[in-house]
Structure 1
């Protein structure tokens, strides 16, 4: 079976039901993410779906998180603006391998979860951009004090190209800090680059990651579950209106 590198095809292939006999583990391994539809009379709880994938990651909020709009917060997870493409492992205190979201309430407009696979990115990215990525490291930091456990070793500095743990191919592991946003949940800078040069690189990354063959915009409906391998795909979020409820329950495992 040939590898699917166009997200328009991949998004259709990476779907299954949410029942006890669902082939979600096979699809997750093959594609790096899977959408589980609420079909049939029996639905697996999110906890049972995540159990074969590892132990729940524990943060200061516990092992489960309700992602919805909250007043007076500096955390972009609880606001309605867009969140740029990223992987979670660089941005919080725990190693994160898999993430699972269950939709409790879907917005009437916007709020799509954006997903880009490494395979799709490398199939579309210009050679000179990939060459640049192979020669740099990126420093990351969180702007949300007191929400995540502090990193005792300081800010992580990570090469943007890692190894896909399933295929052995290249995996894109970045957080795109573009455009500059003082309210953003995190920050990033290329080591040795000035601010403008860093932003130029992030802008090029964002342009590739916005192509229809690279990114899938998942429009939520209640009862769906979305699983991602954080080591193999990037994710982000589209903005949504302040009067449009969006409520997801999330469990991450390490």
Structure 2
């Protein structure tokens, strides 16, 4: 297994075609994410791409989700603002493992998907921040209606550093609740922290994740497919103009 310590060095390697002979599964296993480019061959559908990776997850919107602007919604998926770095694996009760997104309409500006690899984070993060993350647990809860499945057992409380099941190395599993935003899909708080301590920690974490050696900024083109392993990378979204079309087809599997 190749070590991923700088996202700037591997983003070209984490690409392949979308044709029938695409090596996307090998790329996904190696890097934790892969970009499939339309290459003129007979292209695999998003359904065919995701089928070998697991069973489709049934959100309250169904197993196929169209992500685009919608009027009068409290869900960040359907608005134009930025979405901070997070993983879906524990924020949804269905235990999402892989996310597959196909670009149907690309925005003329903004709307990039942000991808941070855990190995890159631990290769660059300050030791004191990592030490802090090892000693805490974070509680999460949903702020939107009609999207996240209710958890009868209560809110998830998750240690932000887990063991990567593929590499056996440390994995960053966190939702960054910064900046303050009551319209964000989720809220998070470190167990035992004050509001000020929470904001300080999440601000520091967001700053580290913004470094280019940790986070890859993917600018979309129509026909591209991006697959991410929720147990190995975090993802987020940059804001984009309200008059810009951004339409994605998403399928998640567990």
Report the alpha carbon displacement of residue 2 of structure 1 after superposing the two structures with TM. 4.5
Cα-to-partner distance string for 1:9-37 (whole Å, 9 max, x where unaligned): 12111000000101100000000000000
Unaligned 5+ segments in structure 1 are none
Partner of 2:8: 8
Cα-to-partner distance string for 1:71-117 (whole Å, 9 max, x where unaligned): 10000010000000000022222101100000000000000000000
Partner of 1:206: 206
1:101-120 correspondence to structure 2 within 5 Å: 101-120=101-120
Partner of 1:244: 244
How many equivalent pairs are there? 254
Unaligned 5+ segments in structure 2 are none
For 2:205 and 2:235, how far apart are their aligned partners in 1?
Answer: 13
Report the alpha carbon displacement of residue 119 of structure 1 after superposing the two structures with TM. 0.4
Task: Give the secondary structure class of the aligned counterpart of 1:90.
Answer: coil
TM-score when normalising by structure 2: 0.98
Partner of 1:24: 24
TM-score when normalising by structure 1: 0.98
Report the alpha carbon displacement of residue 195 of structure 1 after superposing the two structures with TM. 0.7
CA shift in 2, pair 1:2/1:230, >3 Å: closer
Partner of 1:57: 57
User: C-alpha root-mean-square deviation of aligned residues, in Å?
Assistant: 0.9
Task: Give the secondary structure class of the aligned counterpart of 1:89.
Answer: coil
Contact kept, 8 Å, 2:4 with 2:117, in 1: the verdict is no
Task: Give the secondary structure class of the aligned counterpart of 2:12.
Answer: helix
